[in-house]
Amino acid sequence: MSDSKVSGVVHLIEDTKTYGNKGFRKRLVVLEQEKGSFTNYVPLEFIKDGCDAVDDIKVGDEIEVTYRLNGRRWQKDEHSEAKYFLNAEALSFRLVGDGGGAGGTMTEKVSRSANDAFDEANEDDAPF
């Protein structure tokens, strides 16, 4: 499966959150896209060292993010209902504009393997 790209204006940057016994880290960045009569909000998850790369962007910046979709099945125990989750894991980003009209070409590598996040997360502390 190939990686995809999405662009938009940075609407929200959350603080880095840590999960599980091994200290899995993730940070949510929400992009805003104008789609005619409505606004589309796209949540992207930066994981591990990618959390630190987010320090290079700010609300109002226009960025293009390369991402991959990850899905996960979670079930508390064999008698409970299975839940399915989908997230967009940010792999890299490129600064297109800074909200003030200036452009840039910075690219940051922000992720490793798609399954690293799940390998490090404790089963009881799912990272989503």
Query: Residues 6 or more apart from 53 whose CB is under 8 A from it?
Result: 46, 93, 108, 109, 110
Calculate mean pLDDT across residues 24-47: 95
Q: What is the pLDDT confidence band of residue 36, given thresholds at 50, 70 and 90?
A: confident
CA-CA-CA-CA torsion sign (46, 48, 53, 55): positive
Calculate mean pLDDT across residues 60-89: 95
List, as one string, the DSSP characters of 37-54.
Answer: TEEEEEEEEEETTHHHHG
Rg (CA), the chain: 16
Q: What is the pLDDT confidence band of residue 105, given thresholds at 50, 70 and 90?
A: very low
| Residue 16 clears pLDDT 80, i.e. is over it | yes
Calculate mean pLDDT across residues 75-101: 87
Number of neighbours of residue 74 by Cβ within 10 angstroms: 12
Q: What is the pLDDT confidence band of residue 3, given thresholds at 50, 70 and 90?
A: confident
Does the pTM surpass 0.85? The reply is no
| Residue 81 clears pLDDT 50, i.e. is over it | yes
